């Protein structure tokens, strides 16, 4: 299978300078708001510790909590299904919809259904799927996947959205007023809510003790998706479990603060039983999660609550855009999850990181993200999945770094090259570094030359 070329896709993203600058600024703004909100809670670090401990405890007792969750949900009148992988998940959902003669499904945002490619699967079988989250709907209408797990259309300018709506739902393509755009989407989606025979949600949290699914939104679209149709379905990744309802407070206090820099989402909905005269189904999905749970170095990634903060803070994500990762999950969390789905296809992604550790610092459940990225690089090299050019470059670098004499010569040659070579030779198509920035000027004296001159003569 062909490797995703993140560097190539990123270079296209940064060619559109106004988009790239806007993207970087907007996400950094979210990061700053997140800092303000987290600093306003003196107990923030304590919450992080608790959140991490709750998740680790749940994951290490997952089978028990899953059984408890299933039993509680069944006692509440919910039908529970288990899906080993994406294909089984899609099949179960389709069979439910087909059995009820469903032609239209309204759906709240769910990264799990993106992971399973549910929408094309159902559309190929004649079922109209309407995304009801504003950002997700923009992406659906533009025939693009979400580029961010919390803000799916974050890479688009308002004028892009006006163009997409003008092209697809007949609004004025020159009007990019946010209220006009949001209202247009509202008017476009409402009839689908009223007419849809089935509704679907994902899950932010699933409470084992009560069998409840909790969804956090700012638009209320999950509630409309679940409150109007006669058939409702929740797709739940098995890692979403938490033991008790009292644990929810820890995560709810952190999720929106860390994601968007707001104290809480507008709406936190608890779904726990079908309305009278309706049917409710849960589909519990594994799709590689059990296998990941068994990976000594990588199981911590299952603690993720999908807040997106690691993406907002990552200098590579901010400057390359989510779509350049070519995967459902992008940014630092994507870089450590995606190789578990397909090592070869995503083997370039762990190299799309500066390893600066900022992702780890902002993670509310204390996932050691940058250490896992570094570990993936080792795994990829050990399993011979490095592209030939990189492999050879590393081999040469290894030789140079192993020899002090060669290293000194190389540093001096590079410094002389930067200082004296003509610009056209430095800024050539092979110099990816120089595409978007100036190569820093070389110091007149290397540290070693200074040391020998000032502190001693030992070579
Ligand atoms: S890895 Fe941590 S910071 Fe990143 S999305 Fe998941 S919970 Fe948020």
Segment 76-95 mean pLDDT: 98
pLDDT at site 438: 80
* Number of domains observed in the structure of the chain: 3
Q: Does residue 430 share a domain with residue 344?
A: no
pLDDT > 90 fraction of the chain, expressed in percent and rounded = 83
Segment 264-289 mean pLDDT: 96
Residue 1: pLDDT over 90 = no
- Residue-range definition of the domain harbouring residue 349: 297-382
Q: Does residue 214 share a domain with residue 146?
A: yes
Q: With bands split at pLDDT 50, 70 and 90, how would you rate the model's confidence at 13?
A: very high
The CA–CA distances, whole Å, from 389 to 9, 385, 395 equal 18, 12, 10
Backbone phi and psi for residue 242, each to the nearest 5 degrees, phi listed first: -130, 150
Q: With bands split at pLDDT 50, 70 and 90, how would you rate the model's confidence at 423?
A: confident
Q: Does residue 346 share a domain with residue 249?
A: no
Segment 124-147 mean pLDDT: 96
Q: Does residue 203 share a domain with residue 95?
A: yes
Segment 26-39 mean pLDDT: 97
Q: Which of 332, 356, 382 is the last residue of a domain?
A: 382
Q: Does residue 119 share a domain with residue 251?
A: yes
Both structure tokens of 275: 């309305």
Residue 169 lies in a domain: yes
Query: Which atom of ligand 1 has the smallest separation from the CA of 259?
Result: 8
Residue 25 lies in a domain: no
Segment 151-158 mean pLDDT: 96
Segment 335-353 mean pLDDT: 96
Residue 269: pLDDT over 90 = yes
pLDDT > 70 fraction of the chain, expressed in percent and rounded = 99
Q: Does residue 321 share a domain with residue 233?
A: no
Q: With bands split at pLDDT 50, 70 and 90, how would you rate the model's confidence at 417?
A: confident
pLDDT tens by residue, 136-153? 999 999 999 999 999 999
Q: Please name the residues in contact with 207: beta carbons below 8 A apart, sequence gap of 6 or more.
A: 69, 213, 214, 241, 242, 243, 244, 245, 247, 248
Q: Does residue 400 share a domain with residue 378?
A: no
Residue nearest (by alpha carbon) to ligand 1 atom 7: 304
Residue 3 lies in a domain: no
pLDDT at site 432: 73
Residue 134 lies in a domain: yes
pLDDT at site 211: 98
Q: What is the CATH number of the domain that holds 80?
A: 3.40.50.10420
Give the distance (Å) from ligand 1 centre to CA of residue 304.
5
Residue nearest (by alpha carbon) to ligand 1 atom 8: 307
Residue nearest (by alpha carbon) to ligand 1 atom 2: 363
Count of beta carbons in the 10 Å neighbourhood of residue 355: 16
Give the distance (Å) from ligand 1 centre to CA of residue 15.
28
Residue 458: pLDDT over 60 = no
Q: Which of 267, 287, 307 is the last residue of a domain?
A: 287
pLDDT at site 441: 82
Q: Does residue 328 share a domain with residue 404?
A: no
Q: Does residue 353 share a domain with residue 280?
A: no
What does the alpha-carbon distance between residue 205 and residue 320 come to, in Å, rounded to a whole number? 30
Q: What is the 3-state secondary structure (H, E, C) of the chain?
A: CCCCCHHHHHHHHHHCHHHHHHHHHHHHHHHHHHHHHHHCCCCHHHHHHHHHHHHHHHHHCHHHHHHHHHHHHHHCCCEEEEECCHHHHHHHHHHHHHHCCCCEEEECCCHHHHHCCHHHHHHCCCCEEEECCHHHHHHHHCCCCCCCCCCCCCCCCHHHHHHHHHHHCCCCCCCCCHHHHHHHHHHHHHHHHHHCCEEEECCCEEECCCCEEEEEECCCHHHHHHHCCCEEEEEEEHHHEECCHHHHHHHHHHHHHHHHCCCCCCEEEEECCCCCCCEEEEEEECCCHHHHHCCCCCHHHHHCCCCCHHHHHCHHHHHHCHHHHCCCCCHHHHHHHHHHHCCCCCCCHHHCCCCCCHHHHHCCCCCCHHHHHHHHHHHHHHCCCCCHHHHHHHHHHHHHHHCHHHHHHHHHHHHHHHHHCCHHHHCCCCCHHHHCCCCCCCCCCCHHHHHHHHHCCCC
Q: Which of 287, 306, 322 is the last residue of a domain?
A: 287
Q: Does residue 415 share a domain with residue 360?
A: no
Give the distance (Å) from ligand 1 centre to CA of residue 131.
24
Query: Which atom of ligand 1 has the smallest separation from the CA of 307?
Result: 8
Answer yes or no: are the C-beta atoms of 140 and 153 closer than 8 Å: no
Residue 70 lies in a domain: yes
pLDDT at site 85: 98
Segment 419-444 mean pLDDT: 79
Residue nearest (by alpha carbon) to ligand 1 atom 3: 363
CB-defined site of ligand 1, < 6 Å: 304-310, 333, 362-365, 367, 369
pLDDT at site 387: 85
Residue 352 lies in a domain: yes
Q: Does residue 161 share a domain with residue 85?
A: yes
Give the distance (Å) from ligand 1 centre to CA of residue 252.
14
The mean pLDDT value of the chain amounts to 94
Residue 17 lies in a domain: no
pLDDT tens by residue, 311-343? 999 999 999 999 999 999 999 999 999 999 999
pLDDT at site 337: 97
Q: Where does residue 296 rank: exposed (0-12), middle (13-18), buried (19+ CB within 10 A)?
A: exposed
Q: With bands split at pLDDT 50, 70 and 90, how would you rate the model's confidence at 440?
A: confident
Give the distance (Å) from ligand 1 centre to CA of residue 25.
20
Q: Is the pTM above the cut of 0.75?
A: yes
Our mutation pick for probing the ligand 1 site, out of 367, 368, 372, counting the most ligand atoms within 8 A of Cβ, is 367
What does the alpha-carbon distance between residue 312 and residue 307 come to, in Å, rounded to a whole number? 10
pLDDT at site 77: 98
pLDDT at site 234: 98
Residue 34 lies in a domain: no
pLDDT at site 390: 84
Q: With bands split at pLDDT 50, 70 and 90, how would you rate the model's confidence at 455?
A: confident
Backbone phi and psi for residue 38, each to the nearest 5 degrees, phi listed first: -70, -35
Q: Does residue 215 share a domain with residue 166?
A: yes
Residue 457: pLDDT over 70 = no
pLDDT at site 448: 86
Q: Which of 31-35, 365-369, 408-412 has the lowest mean pLDDT?
A: 408-412
pLDDT at site 412: 86
Answer yes or no: are the C-beta atoms of 285 and 83 closer than 8 Å: yes
Exposure letters 216-250 (e unless 16+ CB within 10 A, then b): bbebebbbbbbebbebbbbbbbbbbbbbeeebbeb
Q: How many CA atoms lie within 13 A of 8 on its CB side?
A: 5
Residue 446: pLDDT over 90 = no
pLDDT at site 425: 77
């Amino acid at each position: 299978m062909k490797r995703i070329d993140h560097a190539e896709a990123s270079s296209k993203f940064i060619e559109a300078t106004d988009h790239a600058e806007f993207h970087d600024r907007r996400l950094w703004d979210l990061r700053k708001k997140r800092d303000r909100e987290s600093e306003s809670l003196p107990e923030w670090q304590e919450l992080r510790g608790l959140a991490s401990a709750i998740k680790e405890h749940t994951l290490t007792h997952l089978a028990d909590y899953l059984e408890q969750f299933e039993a509680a949900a069944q006692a509440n009148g919910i039908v529970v299904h288990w899906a080993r992988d994406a294909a089984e998940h899609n099949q179960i959902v389709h069979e439910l919809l087909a059995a009820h003669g469903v032609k239209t499904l309204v759906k709240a945002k769910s990264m799990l259904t993106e992971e399973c490619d549910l929408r094309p699967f159902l559309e190929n079988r004649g079922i109209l799927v309407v995304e009801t989250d504003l950002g997700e709907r923009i992406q659906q209408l533009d025939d693009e996947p979400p580029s961010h797990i919390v803000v799916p259309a974050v890479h688009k300018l308002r004028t892009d959205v006006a163009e997409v709506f003008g092209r697809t739902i007949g609004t004025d393509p020159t009007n990019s007023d946010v209220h006009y755009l949001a209202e247009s989407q509202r008017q476009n989606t409402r009839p689908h809510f009223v007419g849809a025979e089935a509704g679907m949600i994902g899950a932010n949290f699933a409470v084992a003790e009560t069998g409840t699914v909790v969804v956090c939104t700012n638009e209320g679209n999950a509630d409309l998706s679940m409150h109007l149709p006669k058939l409702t379905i929740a797709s739940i990744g098995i890692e979403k479990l938490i033991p008790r309802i009292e644990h929810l407070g820890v995560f709810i206090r952190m999720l929106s603060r860390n994601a968007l820099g707001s104290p809480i989402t507008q709406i936190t909905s608890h779904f726990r039983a079908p309305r009278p005269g309706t049917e409710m189904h849960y589909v519990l999905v594994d799709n590689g999660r059990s296998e990941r749970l068994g990976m000594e170095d990588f199981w911590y990634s299952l603690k993720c609550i999908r807040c997106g903060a690691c993406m907002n803070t990552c200098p590579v994500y901010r400057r390359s855009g989510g779509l350049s990762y070519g995967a459902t999950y992008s940014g630092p969390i994507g870089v450590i999850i995606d190789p578990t789905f397909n090592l070869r296809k995503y083997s370039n992604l762990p190299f799309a990181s500066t390893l600066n550790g900022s992702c780890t610092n902002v993670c509310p459940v204390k996932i050691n993200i940058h250490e896992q990225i570094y570990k993936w690089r080792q795994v990829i090299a050990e399993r011979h999945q490095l592209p030939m050019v990189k492999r050879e470059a590393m081999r040469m670098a290894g030789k140079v770094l192993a020899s002090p004499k060669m290293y000194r010569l190389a540093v001096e040659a590079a410094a002389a090259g930067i200082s004296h070579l003509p610009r056209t030779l430095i800024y050539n198509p092979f110099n990816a570094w120089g595409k978007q920035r100036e190569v820093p000027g070389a110091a007149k004296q290397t540290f070693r030359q200074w040391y020998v001159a000032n502190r001693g003569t030992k070579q």
